[in-house]
Amino acid sequence: MTDLSNRVSCPALFLSAPSSGEGKTTITAALARYFKAQGKVVRVFKTGPDYLDPQILAQASGQDVEQLDLWMAGDTYCQQKLFEAAQSADLILVEGAMGMFDGDPSSADLAARFNIPIAIVMNVKGMAQTAAALAMGMANYRDDVQVAGLIANNCGTERHAELIRNALPENLPLLATLARDPDVALPERHLGLVQADEVRDELEHRFTLGAQWIKGPLEVPNAILELPKPVEFFSAEVEPVAPLLLGRRIAIAKDAAFSFIYDANVRLLQAMGAELAFFSPLNDQTLPEADALWLPGGYPELHAKRLSENDPIKTQIKAFHAQGKPILAECGGFLYCLDDLTDLDESTYPMCGVIAGHGAMRGKRGCQGMQTAILPEGAVQAHAHHRSRSHDTPAPIGYGKRQRHPAPGEAIYREKGLTASYLHLFFASNPNAIAAIFNGQSASQPL
């Protein structure tokens, strides 16, 4: 007798592109909202370490959005998350990152690993048959990748679409032609998309328009409106999480300045037994009673003046640190812990002064990439994405290890119970290390 309890089928589609900026997120959001409006349960995943796209896609789909990354989260984690989603979803959408074959592992690697067909999203403005040639090249670049067809974004006219359609082979159909529409495109800022909570009503309007936009011209309805073929997903052998944080209360900064928080990180802390208390460094005057503090990344530079003016919360965070209690400060949280921060207008504002040093925005110059945080408690998978610099800081206890480059990665600082770095940590990659940090079982010796 065949055991079917460890497998489930669900229609699934992976949206990838030749490069960034082709319209993947806008189209993924429009598809999610279209099928949601049809009464379907749509689960969306985002490839790679991304905070902003998942906020947008969660609002569009009405469901939580997970990050999937074979390097950061691991094969088993990705397999189990897809299996869990497929149990209740009518459709799974996965949005890729960068270009289809960029990175190691790439979007193509993720799609191939789980046998998810790919829809190539391409901005076809200024080309016709060449779009077909590029799509054919991508479709045939690797034998293990299934390409369902092409979505032609910014397609000018039906004649434009016809030229592309006629140039494609039968096994590579034109799934959709989408006219340029600035009212559907998603708003952006210097690190990517604007946070969903800041423009929720505007996004709702754009999603409504996007659900209409994705239908395409009335005379030639888009084939993308048909559910893709089912994909079989299998359960993974996942070890249960030990209650390593049972009885610990962790205060977490969360507001417009500090919002780069993986839902997976929050769920892991709860699974390990932690009680969580969210607070706003922008608005609250009192730090919650807590055993540990997490200051995640976000956009402190956009709110530096207000953060600087909230002296009560800054004073309490400094006192929390003076008591030797554990604090994890990531990227924007790290900047908040410094003596001061200079914003994009070159105005400087005092911050918490928990650790010596100064932070300053650098316009379009910055750092991004996957790194492993080498900590005394163990190695944790992480990534960096910032357009600021810090200087006059103490000597670090170590550095991140870049995924594919021998140069030292981001500096990691440890003072009393504070662990601070530009790195954003993915907690599930090493729960024991994360628990040790929040339990205050930290070491400060150089690595």
For residue 22, give every residue at least 6 positions away whose Cβ sits within 8 Å of its Cβ, in sequence order, or none: 121, 122, 123, 153
pLDDT in tens, 86-128: 999 999 999 999 999 999 999 999 999 999 999 999 999 999 9
Residue 198 predicted with pLDDT over 90 = no
For residue 153, the SS3 value is: strand
Residue type, 73: A
The DSSP result for 267-332, as a single string, is HHHHHTT-EEEEE-TTT-SSPPP-SEEEE-EE-GGGGHHHHHH-HHHHHHHHHHHHTT--EEEETH
User: CB–CB of 41/91 below 8 Å?
Assistant: yes
Among the listed residues 305, 302, 295, the one whose alpha carbon sits nearest the alpha carbon of residue 250: 295
Q: How far apart are the first and last CA of the chain?
A: 53
Please state whether beta strands 292-295 and 147-153 pair in parallel, antiparallel, or not at all (unpaired): unpaired
337 is catalytic: no
pLDDT in tens, 372-416: 999 999 999 999 988 899 999 999 999 999 988 888 999 999 999
Q: Is the peptide bond before 300 cis (omega within 30 degrees of 0)?
A: no
Quick one: pLDDT at residue 193?
46
Quick one: pLDDT at residue 135?
98
Spot the catalytic one: 10, 155, 331, 337.
Answer: 331
User: From CA 189, how far away is CA 205, in angstroms rounded?
Assistant: 19
pLDDT in tens, 12-28: 999 999 999 999 999 99
pLDDT in tens, 149-158: 999 999 988 8
Query: Which helix (DSSP H) or strand (DSSP E) does residue 26 occupy?
Result: helix 24-37
What's the average model confidence in pLDDT over 253-270? 96
Across the chain, mean pLDDT equals 92
- Give the pTM: 0.91
pLDDT-based confidence at 202, cuts 50/70/90?
Answer: confident
Question: Which structural domains are found in the chain, ordered by start?
Answer: 7-234 (3.40.50.300), 249-438 (3.40.50.880)
Quick one: pLDDT at residue 109?
98
pLDDT in tens, 343-379: 989 999 999 999 999 999 986 655 778 999 999 999 9
Query: What backbone phi and psi angles, to 5 degrees, belong to 231?
Result: -120, 140
Quick one: pLDDT at residue 386?
84
Percentage of residues of the chain with pLDDT beyond 70: 93
Residue 185 predicted with pLDDT over 60 = yes
Q: Whats the size of the chain, residue-wise?
A: 447
For residue 311, give every residue at least 6 positions away whose Cβ sits within 8 Å of its Cβ, in sequence order, or none: none
Percentage of residues of the chain with pLDDT beyond 90: 80
Please state whether beta strands 378-386 and 424-425 pair in parallel, antiparallel, or not at all (unpaired): antiparallel
Residue type, 60: A
